[in-house]
Structures are given as structure tokens and as C-alpha cells.
Amino acid sequence: MRRAYPWPLRRHPLLLRAPRASTLRRSTRPVRPGNDFFDYAVGRWYAHAAMPPDRSEIGLEQETSEKVDKQLRVLIQHCAQHASDAKEALIGALYNSYMNEARPAALDDTPLRRDLAAIAGVHDRAQFARLLAESRSGLGSDVFTLAIQPDAQRPINILTLGQGGLGLPDRDYFLARNFASQRGAYEAYVARTLRMVGATKPEEAPKSIVAFETRIASASWTQAERREIDKTYNPMSVAELQTYAPGFDWHAYMERAKLGHLDRLVLAENTAVRDIAAILAQTPFETLKDWETFHTADNASPFLSRRFVESHFGFHNHDLLGASDAATGAPGDRPSQFQPRGCRRAQVRRAILPAHNESADRNHGDAAEERDERANPRRLMDERQHPYGGAEQAWGHESLRWLSRALAQLHRPQTDT
């Protein structure tokens, strides 16, 4: 994957290190790219960049993202305070409902119960296959990845199916010794989350869930293997996929993902997909449901009450990425002003911007009703009505025109009258 320079500095046990004295010396004079390309490209920046205590990574991408978020925040707050039509009133109502801390506190896990009930109502593996397919348009998770990507050998886009299913960033987190502390924190977080949603076996299920994901990690390809283009290009039909990776109802999965009309796809990590399908068939059914229950609650946590937000932030940012205690506090013992910045940026932006496309003829009374409806975290997700159409629709030409008009209006020079 291409990455903009400078490369991000991450709180990662394998990447983050104190600048070497030699690095500081070399950064003051040119370095030959053939000797050390990293130092040549970003050595000076890497030697002097300071990691903010409440961040897990910094770099050009993160700085650009923050700049865009600030611009979008201005637009959204303008809609909340000075709505000029029904669309802007809808956006303002959604923003106000999202930033209303009292409402999630009163609801706690109530908005999540419908999703958890749907998982509890699954009674066979064909239904579970459909549930996985539905997850990409809701709060759940999938053990596979689906994406529309350019065909490597033809001038078209094609559906690509690959490995997935891990709650930690990479397979090495489950398999390498140096990530033992992260694995322990992950199992504790799984147990804590299941207790918070009232799971029936919150002490037994976490071990089964982590063991299930460890098997998936063992079957998954390494980062190096996934970069080999020839190995990740395995075109086939759904019927051929069913033969290659039996034990999983691919037809039910594709139909529920609204992709049943496709006759061809590309299998990326082909042996991993095959082995993960076999692992699904061999794993106790209750473990699969517990796994989906945990990930659904985990994905919804940033949109729920404070105890969910803090628990989520405590693991993902503190335990996993090492955000400083000085900035965030320990889980369950944070200052009253604690507001996870990651939970207040990208998610509110993704939730709000598609809203103006939903209906052009709603009035302000409808917006008030929509505000209550969107207190449900399901409505605060990406609003993807179709797994592969929602994102394009939300960020399509109409959205760009709306943003352009709004930006032009906000930055239009003011004249005295």
C-alpha cells in the first residue's frame, strides 16, 4: 500500500524507538538514499518528531486528517447553529444528538440490544453466514473481507475476497512472543465487554474467542505474502469457491451481501480463506455467536454511554497502542473532562456527512424526530445502505457539490454595509 511521506511514527513495539545518536548526526547532512533510504526520506523529521501523549501515531496523513476534520467541524457546527434549509437542519440535529452526553448515558446499552438479539436468534450456520454478510452494513464483524478493487489483469473493477476476522491489528499479535501483554489485555477487554452487555458466560467465552482468532491468525498470510501480487490474484466463480472452500455457505453469504448476481470474484489470500472456512465449520456454534456478540459491542462502544466509550478507548488506545496515562488516565479512572478525541472526530464526520443525501424534502419537524432516531448507534454508523454502494453514494458528486457550496459561503469575504 502506498503511504504518503513522512511515514507515520507509531507507538508500536517493533517500530517506536528512541532516536539514535547516529540518526541525529546524519540528519544534519545529506544521506545517500542507497545507504539508508528511510533516513534519506524522513530521517530529520523522525529524529525530532515528538509524540503527543494522547496519540498513538503521528505523520502527514494524521496531520492532514486533523486539518480536514477541523474544516468539516466548522461546516457541521454551522449547520447546527444556522441551518438554512431542511438538509442542514438534519445535519445539525444529528450533530447535536451525537454530542449530547446525557442521552447515551440514559440509554446505556439499550440501542445495542436489537443487534444482540439478532445474534442470539441465529440457530444454524447458514444463518450465521448471512449474519456475517450483513455485518458490513451494520455494527457487526466478518471473518472475511470484501472489497471492490481494480482487476490486476483486466481494465475493470472486481470483487475481491480475502482474510479477516482478527480483533488485533495483525496475525503477529496472536503468534509472536513480544505481543503477550497485548494478548492478555485483549482477552481482559473481551471479558469486560461481554460482562457489560450481560453475556451468559463472560468468563468462559473470552478464552474461546481468543483461541478462535488465534487459529484464524495461524491460517492468515503474513504482510510479506500479501504483497505478492501474483499470489493474491486467484479469479474464480462462486461455484468454484464453494468447491475450493467447502464447509461455509458461500451462496447464502453472497446473496445476503447483495452480491449474488456476480459470477466472478478474485480470491486474494486463497489458502487463508479456505482454511478460515474450515475453522468456521469446526468451531462450536456458541463460540461463533459469542465472537460476533463481542465484536458488535466493541464496534458500537464509541457511540454508547461513557462506560463503553472509556472501556473501548482504554484498550484500543492505551493498552494496545500505548497512549499515555498522563493524558487519558487508566480505564475506569479518568478525569471528568475525558473525551477520546478519536471517538469525536472520524466517527461523527462519517455519521453526519451522508445525512444530507437521505432526503431533500424533510422539514425541520422531521429533523427533530430524526435526532431521537439517530441516538441509536446503528444510525450513527457509516449509513451504508449497500455494502459497496453506500460509501460511493455518500461521497458522490452531490456531496462534493454540497461541500463546495458550503465552503464557498463560509469563506466568502464579508463587506460592511
Instruction: Report DSSP letters for 121-147, one per residue.
Output: T--SHHHHHHHHHHGGGSS---SEEEE
Report if residue 258 sits inside a domain.
yes
**Residue 234 — very low, low, confident or very high, per pLDDT cuts 50/70/90?**
very high
Mean pLDDT of all residues belonging to the chain: 77
Residues 166 and 209 in one domain: yes
pLDDT at site 359:
34
The residue-averaged pLDDT of 314-338 equals 58
List, for residues 279-294, the tens digit of each pLDDT value: 999 999 999 999 999 9
Residues 102 and 48 in one domain: no
Residues 241 and 147 in one domain: yes
Residues 144 and 103 in one domain: no
What is the SS3 assignment for 159?
strand
Residues 213 and 262 in one domain: yes
Domains contained in the chain, number: 3
Report if residue 116 sits inside a domain.
no
* Bridge pairing between strands 157-163 and 265-267: parallel
Percent of the chain topping pLDDT 90: 45
Report if residue 417 sits inside a domain.
no
Q: Which residue has the higher pLDDT, 64 or 400?
A: 64
Residues 153 and 36 in one domain: no
Residue 43 has pLDDT above 60, yes or no: yes
Residue 24 has pLDDT above 80, yes or no: no
Report if residue 207 sits inside a domain.
yes
Residues 268 and 202 in one domain: yes
pLDDT at site 202:
82
Could you give the angle at the alpha carbon of 290 between the alpha carbons of 204 and 341, nearest 5°?
A: 100
What is the SS3 assignment for 320?
coil
Residue 176 has pLDDT above 60, yes or no: yes
Residues 268 and 359 in one domain: no
The residue-averaged pLDDT of 3-12 equals 43
Domain encompassing residue 50: 9-57
Report if residue 18 sits inside a domain.
yes
Please count the residues of the chain.
417
Rg (CA), the chain: 23
* Contact of 158 with 264, CB cutoff 8 Å: yes
Return d(Cα 208, Cα 190) in angstroms, integer.
11
Residues 72 and 51 in one domain: no
* Contact of 245 with 226, CB cutoff 8 Å: no
Give the range with max mean pLDDT: 186-200, 310-324, 363-377. Answer: 186-200
Residue 185 has pLDDT above 90, yes or no: yes
Report if residue 46 sits inside a domain.
yes
Report in angstroms the alpha-carbon separations of 115 from 122, 268, 300, 339, 377: 11, 30, 10, 26, 10
Residue 172 has pLDDT above 90, yes or no: yes
Q: Which of 19, 35, 57 is the last residue of a domain?
A: 57
Which residue(s) pair with 207 in the sheet?
Answer: none
Grid cell digits, residue 13: 513495539
* Contact of 145 with 269, CB cutoff 8 Å: no
Report if residue 226 sits inside a domain.
yes
Report if residue 143 sits inside a domain.
yes
Please classify residue 177 by burial: count the beta carbons closer than 10 Å to its beta carbon, then call 0-12 exposed, 13-18 middle and 19+ buried: exposed
Which residue(s) pair with 149 in the sheet?
Answer: 158
